[in-house]
A and B are shown apart, each in its own frame.
Chain A
Amino acid sequence: MANAAEHATPEHPPELAAERTANYRRLFRRFVLLTILCSFLPLLLVGWGINIHYTRFARQRMMDNFRTEIDHHRRVIELFLEDLSAELQLVALTHTREQLVAQGNLHTVFGLINRDQWSITDLGVIGEDGRHLAYVGPHDLMDKNYRETFWFKEVMNKGLYISDMFMGFRKEPHFVIAVLNSRTNPRWILRATIDTEAFRSLVENVQIGQTGVVYLVNGDGIFQTSPRYFGEIMGTTPFPVGEEHDGTRVYEFKGNGDGPQPLPRQVVGQAWLRQPRWKLVVRQDFKEAFAQVNHANRAMLIFLHVSGLTILAVAVLVTRHMIAAIRKRDLDADRLNQQLHQTGKLAAIGQLAAGVAHEINNPLAIVLTERQILLDMAGNGGIAEAAFQEQFPQSMNQIHTQVLRCKRITQNLLRFSRRTQSVIEPVDLSAFLGEIVELMEREARAGGVKFFEEFPADLPTILSDPSQLQQVFLNLITNAIDAHEGKPYGSVRITTASHREKGMDGVRILIADSGCGIPAENLERIYEPFFTTKPEGKGTGLGLAICYSIVRRLGGTMEVTSQVGTGTTFTLFLPATPPRELLMQLEGTTGALGACPAETLNT
Chain B
Amino acid sequence: MIGSKILLVDDEVVFTDNMSKLLAHRGYRVTAVNGGEAAIKALEEGDFDVVVLDLKMPGMDGLTTLKEIKKLGLFTETMILTGHGAIDSALEAVKLGAYDYLTKPCDIDDLVAKIEGAWSKKDTMHKKDLGEKIQKVVESPKSAFTLFPRKK
Contact = CB atoms under 8 A, between A and B. Distances in A.
Interface of A: 353-354, 357-359, 361-362, 364-370, 372-373, 376, 380, 398, 402, 443, 445-449, 488-489
18 contacts: A357-B83, A358-B83, A361-B103, A361-B105, A365-B12, A366-B15, A367-B105, A368-B105, A368-B108, A369-B18, A369-B22, A369-B108, A370-B18, A380-B25, A446-B11, A446-B57, A447-B56, A448-B61
Interface string B95-111: 00000000111111000
B19 A354 contact: no
Given A372-B22, A376-B25, 13 more contacts: A353-B85, A354-B86, A357-B83, A357-B84, A358-B85, A362-B15, A368-B108, A369-B108, A372-B18, A445-B58, A446-B11, A488-B58, A489-B59
B94 interface: no
Contacts of A372: 18, 22, 108
A565 B53 CA distance: 29
A369 B15 contact: yes
Contacts of B127: none
B128 interface: no
B14 interface: yes
Contact of B104 (A354, A365, A445, A448): A365
Contacts of A376: 21-22, 25
Contacts of A402: 14
Contacts of B105: 361, 364-365, 367-368
B27 to A, nearest CB: 12
Contacts, number: 80
List the 7 closest pairs (A to B, CB-CB), nearest first.
A357-B85, A369-B18, A361-B83, A365-B104, A448-B58, A365-B105, A364-B105
A540 to B, nearest CB: 15
Nearest to B37: A488
Interface string B17-30: 01101100100000
B97 to A, nearest CB: 20
B60 interface: yes
A87 B27 CA distance: 166
Contact of B85 (A361, A367, A398, A448): A361
B85 A366 contact: no
A364 B12 CA distance: 12
B83 to A, nearest CB: 4
A28 B14 CA distance: 71
Given A365-B105, A373-B21, A358 B14 contact: no
Per DSSP, are chain B's interface residues mostly helix, strand or loop, or mixed?
loop
Interface residues of B, number: 25
B108 A398 contact: no
Nearest to A450: B58
Nearest to A359: B83
Nearest to B103: A361
B104 A362 contact: yes
Interface string B65-76: 000000000000
Contacts of B86: 354
Given A357-B85, A361-B104, A376-B22, A398 B14 contact: yes
A402 B83 CA distance: 14
Nearest to A443: B56
Interface of B: 11-12, 14-15, 18-19, 21-22, 25, 56-61, 83-86, 103-108
Contacts of A365: 12, 15, 83, 104-106
Contacts of B58: 445-449, 488-489
A16 to B, nearest CB: 42
A502 to B, nearest CB: 41
Nearest to B14: A366
Contacts of A449: 58
Contacts of B84: 354, 357-358, 361
Contacts of A380: 25
Given A354-B85, A358-B84, A365-B15, A488 B106 contact: no
Given A372-B22, A447-B56, A362 B83 contact: yes
B61 to A, nearest CB: 7
Contacts of B18: 366, 369-370, 372-373, 398
A354 to B, nearest CB: 5
Contacts of A373: 18, 21-22, 25
A372 B20 CA distance: 12
Most A CB within 10 A of own CB, among B19, B103, B105, B108: B105
A488 B22 contact: no
Nearest to B20: A369
Nearest to A488: B59
A474 to B, nearest CB: 17
B60 A362 contact: no
Contacts of A368: 105-108
Contacts of A446: 11, 56-58
A359 B59 CA distance: 18
Nearest to A375: B108
Nearest to B84: A358
A366 B54 CA distance: 14
Contacts of A366: 12, 14-15, 18
Contacts of B106: 365, 368
Nearest to A353: B85
Contacts of A358: 56, 83-85
A369 B19 contact: yes
A576 to B, nearest CB: 38
A369 B59 CA distance: 25
Nearest to A395: B18
A367 B105 CA distance: 9
B31 to A, nearest CB: 17
Contacts of B61: 447-448, 488
Contacts of B108: 368-369, 372
A411 B25 CA distance: 36
A366 B14 CA distance: 7
Contacts of B103: 361
A3 B19 CA distance: 45
B59 A364 contact: no
B123 to A, nearest CB: 26
Most B CB within 10 A of own CB, among A367, A368, A447: A368
A446 B12 CA distance: 9
A447 B36 CA distance: 12
Contacts of A361: 83-85, 103-105
Contacts of B104: 361-362, 364-365
Contacts of B15: 362, 365-366, 369
B36 to A, nearest CB: 9
A332 to B, nearest CB: 35
Nearest to B56: A446
A449 B103 CA distance: 23
A351 to B, nearest CB: 10
Contacts of B57: 446, 448
